Amino acid sequence: MTSPSGEAPQLEILDLRHFSASQMRPLLRDEAKRWQQRLHWDYTHSTDLLLDYLDSRVLPGFVAVAGSRPIGYAFCVYEASKAVIGDVYAFTEAETTTNPICDRMLRHLIEMLQATPGIERVESQLLMFPAGALAEPFLSKGFRPYPRLFMLCDLRTSPLGEQARTPPRPRTFLLQPWKPDFYEAAAALIHRCYAGHMDSSINDQYRTIHGAQRFLHNIIRFPGCGVFDAENSWVLRDPSTLKLEAMILCSRVQKDVGHITQLCVSPDLRSQGLGSLLLQQCTSELLRRGYHALSLTVTESNTGARNLYERLGFQSLHRFEAMVWDKYASG
């Protein structure tokens, strides 16, 4: 896009709250297509929710404007003393490690957040961008990187798909589909499983019962990790105490692709095959419905989980980074 003089228009970074959903829709639709192409993910549910927020004019963030045309955006949300960078995207960017428009918007957003009174922590997981693509704006401001993997399993040809055709039934546990009644017990299990775990450094919601409840609320009620699939989310309970000991939560990210949003096993029951059993049960139902793929994300240094997923046929499709800034840890 050029000006009447033939020169490229100057890029401006403006407040996101000055823009309506109709102005931002072409950019968000372009991003949804990119999610579909690269990650086998129908992003339109998230796009529609974001458009609703844009029309409310309360979402904090920035827009990159060339001439009068929005060509990029970045936004965040506040959670008490923490801020989460929800997304950053620009036309033509996200495929390589050179993303000048996104870099510039991120710098504005990070500077704003670190200068905001009361904000002590900032988290970000920009799944679309390959590791290193947006590292400099984060690292220059004291963020710590955590490489993560987006993994995909072809259920038609993988060991997981074969095993799921006749999934084993647990002899010592009750296998039950998700019910809202499990909400508090599930949050307690998540908190118990992630105590001292590397992932609690990435997502501080794992560190408290209240935080784990918020995490569950977000993945069940909002489409950021796909549309929650209650009928194909499963728990294992002790038959005598009815204590919830393991859990798998699944969402739908495409009409024939599922996504695991949470898989956890009580620490004292690990290495007994319960994670594999839950994955097989979930996959069995996906195959029955005609699904062909299942995805998940995992922290790269979590070798135990990675080994399990790779053994079952998951392959790393994409390497990205979680970024965390802690005001006091950063000095």
CB neighbours (10 Å) of residue 98?
A: 9
- Which residues, 6 or more positions from 13, have their beta carbon under 8 angstroms from its beta carbon? 62, 63, 64, 65, 104, 105, 108
Distant-in-sequence, close-in-space partners of 50: CB < 8 Å, separation ≥ 6 = 28, 59, 75, 87
pLDDT of residue 9: 64
pLDDT 10s digits, 37-49: 989 999 988 999 8
Q: Tens digit of pLDDT for each residue in 198-253?
A: 999 999 999 999 999 999 999 999 888 899 999 999 999 999 999 999 999 999 99
| pTM score of the predicted model | 0.92
Position 45 scores a pLDDT of: 87
Q: Distances in Å between the alpha carbon of 171 and those of 18, 189, 259?
A: 59, 21, 27
Q: Give 331's pLDDT tier (boundaries 50, 70, 90).
A: very low
Cα–Cα nearest to 204, from 125, 319, 284:
125
What average pLDDT is seen over the chain? 93
pLDDT at position 211 is 95
Q: Is the pLDDT of residue 321 over 70?
A: yes
Report d(CA 251, CA 205) in Å as an integer: 20
What local confidence, expressed as pLDDT, does residue 8 receive? Answer: 52
What tens digit of pLDDT does each residue of 152-183 get?
999 999 999 999 988 888 889 999 999 999 99
